[in-house]
Structure 1
Amino acid sequence: MERDPLLDQIFWQALNGAHRHWSDGTGRIRRYTQGFSPIIAFADPARPDFAALAPWCARGEHFYCEGWTGAAPPGWRIEAESSMFRMVYQGAAPQDDPAPDAVPLQAAHAAQAVALAELCKPGPFGIRTIELGDYYGYFDGDRLMAMAGERLRAPGWCEISGVCVHPDYQGRGLARKLIGKLLRQHARRGERSLLHVMHHNPAHQLYLAMGFTDYLESTVRVVVAE
């Protein structure tokens, strides 16, 4: 597909746009407010102004950031580096809701959602992340078996994120059903769907089989404020 400047800078578009009221920073660098996903985004990843973000960061905080490959600036340490795929859905939207029995996740489910994310490690996740969009889950009694929801937004785009299935409940198609529900929801709103997956994550093959295609592969880092 052709390059889309909104999609190229989807993290900045979200933190400086639709989610600006849930972020802190300047016109060049922003972070999600504490409690949300610990993510930093840059207006220009080639010239990240980390010094300007200092008033909103605590010593020892860990953040994820994408697209930046320079040396660590003073007061920051690079703890980990890898790469991830940004994928765009190119298939047909489901005509029927494949997960009509999925439960909308509310604030009361936040601790369970964080616990599942810590177990499955889908990416940066915080106690308030489920406030960023619609999240849905499947429960076995009081146990959250699986979840998926919405995070980054830009005009015409919405990200599917937080896709998790507890190891005890894998192989039941729960992730596919929840993703399908979100794909249908986005299409009905006139939005296109994207998602992110680390390059080593076997879920990449599932997403390809579902109709997602690789848009780009970019550097992702975990950085620590010192």
Structure 2
Amino acid sequence: MDRNPLLDNIFWHSLNGAHRHWSDGTAQVRRYTQGFSPIIAFADPAQPHLAALAPWCASGEHFYCDGWSGAAPPGWRIEVESTMFRMLWDGQLPAADPAPDALPLRAGHAPQALELATLCKPGPFGIRTIELGDYFGYFDGERLMAMAGERLCAPGLREISGVCTHPDYQGRGLAQQLIAKLLLRHAARGEQSFLHVMRTNPAHQLYLGMGFKDYLESTVRVIVAA
């Protein structure tokens, strides 16, 4: 698969690009502003200038970071280390939107979205994460059954993220329908869809079956500011 420099370091190109106004940091390292997804990105993952983030980090804050595999610098500790797949869409698009009745998630839905993400753990998620892109969900009354939306982006690239279904509503294909809805929207805008999934997540096989292909596997860490 051809390499794409933007996709290779997509967290940085998002935090230092389209999402710069929702991030804090320097020319070498940035984090999403508190309230958004707790993610840190590096201009060069081989040189993680974490000390420069001190003015914007509180003691005990937890962050996710990608692509960095060196020792933790002073003032930080590594709490979790694993790997994840970055996957690119390479399948057949549906002929029509399979989720026309899915509702856009607005600011008023943020508590419900955070509650579902806290339960299902699709990845780093904050009360303001749904502001990073278009999110859609299925509701049962006031209860959010399933959701999927957009997070990282760079020119020509858009991430599908926050994919989760409440355990009481699994097995109905709700998440797959929401993903397909986003795929169609991205294609209409001329964007290539991608997503992330942990190596240990069974959803990796589901995404392969849907038409995503592995682009790379990278180190992912949860780190804590001392």
TM-score, normalisation: structure 1: 0.99
Q: Does 1:47 align with 2:31?
A: no
Inter-partner Cα distance in structure 2 for 1:8 and 1:50: 20
Instruction: Name 1:214's counterpart in structure 2.
Output: 214
Unpaired runs of at least 5, structure 1: none
1:149-168 to structure 2, matched below 5 A, reads 149-168=149-168
Inter-partner Cα distance in structure 2 for 1:142 and 1:22: 29
Percent identity over paired residues = 78
Inter-partner Cα distance in structure 1 for 2:102 and 2:56: 36
- SS across alignment from 1:17: coil
**RMSD (Å) for aligned C-alpha atoms:** 0.5
Q: Deviations over 1:5-56 (max 9, x none)?
A: 0100100000000100000000000000000000000000001101111110
Q: By how many angstroms is 1:91 displaced?
A: 1.0
Q: Deviations over 1:146-185 (max 9, x none)?
A: 0000000011000000000000100000011000000000
1:13-24 to structure 2, matched below 5 A, reads 13-24=13-24
Q: By how many angstroms is 1:95 displaced?
A: 2.4
Unpaired runs of at least 5, structure 2: none
- SS across alignment from 1:85: strand
Instruction: Name 1:177's counterpart in structure 2.
Output: 177
Q: Does 1:133 align with 2:133?
A: yes
Instruction: Name 2:94's counterpart in structure 1.
Output: 94
Q: Deviations over 1:63-92 (max 9, x none)?
A: 000000011101001010010000000012
Inter-partner Cα distance in structure 2 for 1:206 and 1:38: 26
Instruction: Name 1:147's counterpart in structure 2.
Output: 147
- SS across alignment from 1:223: strand
Q: By how many angstroms is 1:194 displaced?
A: 0.1
Inter-partner Cα distance in structure 2 for 1:170 and 1:93: 23
1:69-80 to structure 2, matched below 5 A, reads 69-80=69-80
Q: Which amino acid aligns with 1:137?
A: G
TM-score, normalisation: structure 2: 0.99
Instruction: Name 1:66's counterpart in structure 2.
Output: 66
| Moved >6 Å (runs of 4+) | none
- SS across alignment from 2:91: coil
Inter-partner Cα distance in structure 2 for 1:186 and 1:221: 29
Inter-partner Cα distance in structure 2 for 1:176 and 1:73: 40
Q: Which amino acid aligns with 2:183?
A: L
